[in-house]
Amino acid sequence: MQQTAESPSPNPGMNTPMLSPEQIQAVKTRSFHEGVKACSPTLVGIAAWGLVVGIAMIKSHFTVAQALGMTFTVFAGSAQLAALPLITAGAPVWVIFLTGLMVNLRFVIFSVIIAPHFTGLRFGQRAFWGYMTGDVSMIFFMRRFPSETPEIGKFEYMKGLFVANWTAWQIGSVAGLFLGSQIPENWGVGYAGTLAILCVLLPMVVSRATLIGVLVAGIVALSTFHWPYKLGMLSAVVIGMLCAMAWEEWKEKT
């Protein structure tokens, strides 16, 4: 059925009729809610992962103030878990920083992918939404908007994804901070959180390159589990990413 101005397209962009300011705002509001709805099935797993990281910070003898500062400023579970044993062991600051940087290299790739979609944003806005970026929310965004074509509601859809993901994480993490001292080690909460996040992420392995990266990273991580300073995790991330990229390059040439 042909779209009219009274019935704006759910995916406005090219060939979109002129919309009134009220209709544009309605599209933006709907897009935000669609973003929240799209990632809602993953939020329990995200909160569970945040809970694990919150407990880990308290078990690492952080004060509540230190742990709150870390969860709100770092907002990167894998980097936090990689850095915590290094901090506890008194590792040099440069080792801690480099480990966190390497574990989070994927966010550089995310930024390169998403930047062309929002070239009109000011630097402060780009920095803020870069901080809010999460693995799962990025996947949902790219599925919904594979093209860089400007569209009404695209920014709001991203906001819905990122805000919902961030909120779920922080609720879980803060709960972990206050519950950590009350939960015995033998409950195995860390394993439960790991299983929860695996249930969220594994269905998103939708390409052969991603699968290769995941398998290689897992094999390397298991093989280097006893390396000091969590350097095995660092190696797993880098080698897994390189293998996935190499596969993509090979496929493009064949």
pLDDT at 218: 84
Instruction: List the single range of 104-108, 123-127, 182-186, 229-233 with lowest mean pLDDT.
Output: 182-186
What is the C-alpha to C-alpha distance for residues 20 and 18, in angstroms, rounded to an integer? Answer: 7
Phi-psi region of 52 (alpha: psi -120 to 50; beta: other; left: phi over 0): alpha
What is the C-alpha to C-alpha distance for residues 210 and 245, in angstroms, rounded to an integer? Answer: 9
Strand partners, 7: 4
3-state secondary structure of 4: strand
What is the C-alpha to C-alpha distance for residues 185 and 88, in angstroms, rounded to an integer? Answer: 17
pLDDT at 248: 80
Strand partners, 4: 7
Instruction: List the single range of 60-64, 76-80, 142-146, 180-184 with lowest mean pLDDT.
Output: 180-184
pLDDT at 104: 82
Per domain, the residue ranges of the chain are 21-203, 205-254
**Cβ 169 vs Cβ 35: under 8 Å:** no
Instruction: List the single range of 41-45, 93-97, 186-190 with lowest mean pLDDT.
Output: 186-190
Torsion of CA 16, 17, 23, 24, to 10 degrees: 40
Q: What backbone torsions phi and psi does residue 4 show, to the nearest 5 degrees?
A: -125, 175
Dihedral over Cα of 133, 217, 176, 43: its sign: positive
- Percent of the chain scored above 70 by pLDDT? 82
Structure tokens of 40? Answer: 């809602």
Is the pLDDT at 106 greater than 80, yes or no? no
Which one has a higher pLDDT value, 135 or 4?
A: 135
pLDDT at 196: 59
Interval 123-136 mean pLDDT: 89
Structure tokens of 102? Answer: 């390497």
Could you tell me the pLDDT band of residue 202, with boundaries at 50, 70 and 90?
A: low
pTM of this prediction exceeds 0.95: no
3-state secondary structure of 5: coil
Is the pLDDT at 143 greater than 60, yes or no? yes
